[in-house]
Every structure is written in C-alpha cells, then in structure tokens.
Chain A
Amino acid sequence: MLCDICKQNVATVHLTQMVEGKTKKVDLCEACSKEKGVDDPTGFSLADLLLGLGAAQEMAQAAAGSDLKCPACGFTQADFKKTGRLGCADCYTTFAEGLEGLLKSMHKGTKHVGKVPQPLQQHKDYQEKLNRLQKQLEKAIGDEDFEQAALLRDEIKQTREKFDNLTTG
C-alpha cells in the first residue's frame, strides 16, 4: 500500500477516525506523517487530512474510468483529478455519476437543504400552485361541477399570465 500523500513510499502509518458516523481512513508513509504533524500533540491538521485525503479514495474513483469531457467548458476527468476542482456549473451534470460517491463521503446528505434563490423559489411555487389548480380542475370536471371548473380555469389562466409577466418583465 502506497502513501496517500506522496504516492511513492510504502504507507506505514494508518489512521482511522469516525467523523459524523462515517469512517475516514488515511494511509501515510513515515516521512509524510511527520511532515503533516500526525504525531504532533497539536496535530489539528488531522481534520484536514481526514476530510481532505479521506475523500481521496472517492476522489480517485470520481476521476477514474471513462475520459468524460464537459461539453460546456471542455473540462475533463483528468483535470478534476489534478486540481480537485470542477470547470463550470455544467460539470456537475457531466460528471454526476462519479461525483455521487464523493459528495456522499464529504457531506451530511446528497440533497440540498436550505436557501433557494428567490427567482427559482418563485418558479417552484408557481409550478406547485399550477399543479394544485390542475388537480382541482380535473376533480371539478369529474364531479360535473362546471361552475367551479370555470372559476378554476380562469385562475389558472391568471396565474400563468402573472408568472409570464414576472419572468419577462
């Protein structure tokens, strides 16, 4: 087994730690473990090591395999392996498959929770409202409540127009 840092010497120091219930593993050679201050009593760099390098295995996996290339920016998997950064927003779609494991190992979840940009939130709200009204309309038609159906049809039309004005205006 080779050292995770220099990738040259044989790893003799093996570190394992539980972080948020996930096991992080790092294998280092003598020299790199000294340099990274693993035996240093104030060895706080261990966190960076574990969270950075612990993801190295996943990182390697994410970067291995087919030689995908992002159609939007020309970034390749080899570039990702070299820099650990992505080229553009579209890369997340291009490399989605490989990134999945990496994100899982790094983060609490794989689905975003929290703030959503307001313009997008409005779009989401609009979609949800539209879906709700459509369902009500179908039900009204099914119940042969045509008066209610007409009202709903008007509301759907208004909602659509309001949203179109909002996005184009």
Chain B
Amino acid sequence: MKNIKEFLAAPAQSCKREGPHDRIVMSSRVRLARNLKDFPFPGWAKKPDRVKALEAIRPAVESLPQMSGAFSESMDNLSAMDKQILVERHLISREHAAKGVGSGLVLNKEESLCVMINEEDHLRMQALRPGLQLRSAWLAIDQVDTILEKRLDYAFSNNLGYLTACPTNIGTGIRVSAMLHLPALVLSEQINQIIQAVNKLGLAVRGLYGEGTEALGNVFQVSNQMTLGEAETDIVERLNKVLTQLIEHEENARGSLLEKKPKMVFNHIGRAYGILANAHSISSKETMNLLSLMRLGIDLGMLPGVERSLVDELFILTQPAHLQQQLSEKLSAEERDLLRADMLRERLRNVSRPVTPPRSEGSKSDKSSAS
C-alpha cells in the first residue's frame, strides 16, 4: 500500500484549488453519519465486532467508482505522525486519529471524499470542496451514500431516521460546515456579536479543528447543530444563506475598517509581515495568527504579486507534524519554533514588504504604488 505522505498532494498544489468566495470561505464540507444494523456502535463494540464491521464496510467503500485509485488503510497501520498530518490537513478528526485496530480510512485521489470507518459511528463519510460549495458537496456525498445503502444494511428507523451513536446526530446524520476566515470581524470586535446571532439560529461556531478548539488564525467553523426534523437540502440551504450573510458582514467590516481605521489595519499587517519574515523563533499559534493578517493583507491588495495560496500553504506547512515530517529525529517544541521561523524567513525572502493600497477601493488592485 502506498505511503500516505506520498499519496497526499503537496500543500503547494492542494492550496491552489479554487472555489467561489474562497477569499473568505476556505472550504466547505458535508458529512454523513451511518451505522450498520447488526453491529454495536464502535464505542461500545468489543474488538472482534469492530474488526468484523470494518471488514464488511471497507470493501464496500473501496469498490465505489468514486474511490478508484483511493488510499485505503486500517488505522493501526498508520503512524502517529501520519495521523497527525491527516488531522492538520482536515481530512480526519482528532478522534479518528486516536483510533487503532478495527478502524479504517478510505480517501480518494483528489482528497475530496473521505470515509472514516469506525470513528464514533461505523461510517463517517465526508465530501470536501474549496470555497463555498455546500450544494455540490452534499450532492457528492449523497451519491456515495446511495450506492453504499444498497451494499450495506443501515440502521434506520422510520421515526428517528439514521440511528447514530450520539443522539445529537440522529435523523439525517448530516453535518454541513464551512471554514471561514474572518479577520476583519475579529479586528473590529464584532465577532462575538456575530457568533451569538449565528448561535441563535441553531448553528454552532467552532475553532479551526472542530469541537472544543480555539479559533486560531481567525478561522471559524460554522455548522448545523440539529439533525432531526429537518431535511438535508433544507439544512444545506439554511447554512448557505447564513454563510452568504457572514461573507457580506466580513466584506463590510473590511471596508469600514479601511475607511475608519486604515492605520490600525496597516499596522497589524505590516507588523505581521515583519515578524513572519524576520523572526528566529516562532510558535505555531503566533504563526497562524500572523499568517491570518498577511492573508488579509493580500485580500486588501497590500502584497501585490503574492498569491493567497502561499499563505494557505504556510498555514499547513508550519503545523507541528508537517514541520516534523521533513526530519528523522524528534524535535522538541522549542526546536520546532526555530525550524518554523527558518522556514518562514526562507519562504518570505522574496516577498516585499506590504504597500499601503491606493486610496480607491483598496481591494483587488494589482498596481504596486510602493512609493
């Protein structure tokens, strides 16, 4: 079996994937939870039952037309490093990374379809898309599910829908989510208000790596919370609507910050560039927060000639496991901070310092009026 590191596209490639509204919506995801009728749920099943369920599910998933040329492996054959890399790429959950014997992973070539076997449920299948593409992600995963339901005996009740290990996922078993980059809403201190408003609509706002995580790098995950009593397409449309509004709020916040407090914005972005391009030791957390400001700088036309994909690539490459993987010996956190800083200085060597944008709209201008 292929090595996962060789299988995954280099971040330089994967970050070039583009989608609608990707200056704010980093990615869209639709996940379905499914279980087999005749096996206890993974968290309660004894090892032999988990192994049996895996053996039933894995061939069914591998033989999907969508999975031709896929990477398929049982979790005990992946090293801790491999798993951490998959988490940093947002392909598997932290919970799944902790699994071993009796759990598995099937990932398609394009890294747009990923099935976790025996995570919290027997099947957690997800479709991923760059930018705002919830409908397309839903259609893709719906197709996969429609083929699988003919090959596997799902646990389903007419009243409660798809039965899941946790009552929070019952019904449709769907989780529709998007990762949003909202630096201006954070800088203008509107984010808390926005989160509260989104919460009131029954949607959850979380940090970069899902449940219980911090919003590092001003990246927020918005997802539906309720799964019973609302059809999949309604949930997708509702989220789509809310996300469209969030995009508008973020764009407005950018506009009004530039208008009312341009110096504050330029100062943040200039300092972020200064530290990233010149530091000799930098933590992963600080890196993400500063890269976020650089990303904003690119969006505002302050870093002409620099692609957004460079920042997105560095977002991934500066994560602990991605840093560590280039080296054989295990690094301490302090050593990683040095290595991270070295890499950032090297990668930003040819990036000139930010320019203040021309007084016009300030957005996507390519004119470098440096003087």
Contact = CB atoms under 8 A, between A and B. Distances in A.
Interface of A: 17-20, 41-48, 50-51, 72-73, 75, 79, 83-89, 92, 99, 102-103, 106-120, 124
Given A115-B142, A118-B149, A88 B230 contact: no
A107 B161 contact: no
Contact of A99 (B39, B142, B167): B167
B168 A106 contact: yes
A112 B161 contact: yes
A136 to B, nearest CB: 25
B154 A117 contact: yes
Interface residues of B, number: 59
A92 B160 CA distance: 9
B290 to A, nearest CB: 17
Interface stretch (B199-207, B299-307, B334-342): B199-207
30 contacts: A42-B191, A42-B195, A47-B225, A51-B168, A51-B204, A72-B40, A73-B40, A83-B43, A85-B120, A85-B165, A86-B41, A86-B44, A89-B157, A89-B163, A92-B157, A99-B167, A108-B202, A108-B226, A108-B230, A110-B228, A111-B159, A112-B161, A112-B228, A113-B231, A115-B172, A116-B158, A117-B156, A118-B150, A120-B158, A124-B158
B44 A75 contact: yes
B225 to A, nearest CB: 6
Nearest to B186: A42
Given A42-B186, A108-B226, A88 B40 contact: yes
Interface in B208-235: 211-212, 215, 220, 225-233
Given A47-B199, A92-B160, A113 B167 contact: no
A118 B228 CA distance: 19
A106 B154 contact: no
| Leading 8 A-B pairs by shortest Cβ distance | A109-B229, A112-B161, A89-B155, A107-B228, A108-B229, A114-B231, A87-B44, A20-B202
A78 B162 CA distance: 24
A31 to B, nearest CB: 18
A19 B167 contact: no
A44 B171 contact: no
Nearest to B154: A117
Nearest to B42: A85
Contacts of A102: 167
Contacts of A116: 156, 158
Nearest to B157: A92
Contact of B227 (A46, A83, A107, A117): A107
Contact of B201 (A20, A99, A109): A20
A18 B200 CA distance: 6
Contact of B226 (A20, A112, A115): A20
B154 A103 contact: no
B192 interface: yes
B35 interface: yes
Interface string B138-160: 00001001100110001111111
Nearest to B165: A85
- Among B40, B158, B226, find the residue whose CB has the most chain A CB atoms closer than 10 A: B40
A50 B189 CA distance: 22
Given A85-B44, A87-B44, A99-B167, A50 B199 contact: yes
B211 A118 contact: no
A19 B205 CA distance: 13
B172 A114 contact: yes
- Among B43, B168, B205, find the residue whose CB has the most chain A CB atoms closer than 10 A: B168
Nearest to A114: B231
- Among B156, B166, B199, find the residue whose CB has the most chain A CB atoms closer than 10 A: B199
Given A42-B192, A86-B41, A87-B40, A110 B229 contact: yes
Interface string B18-61: 00000000000000000101011101100000000000000000
Contacts of A50: 199
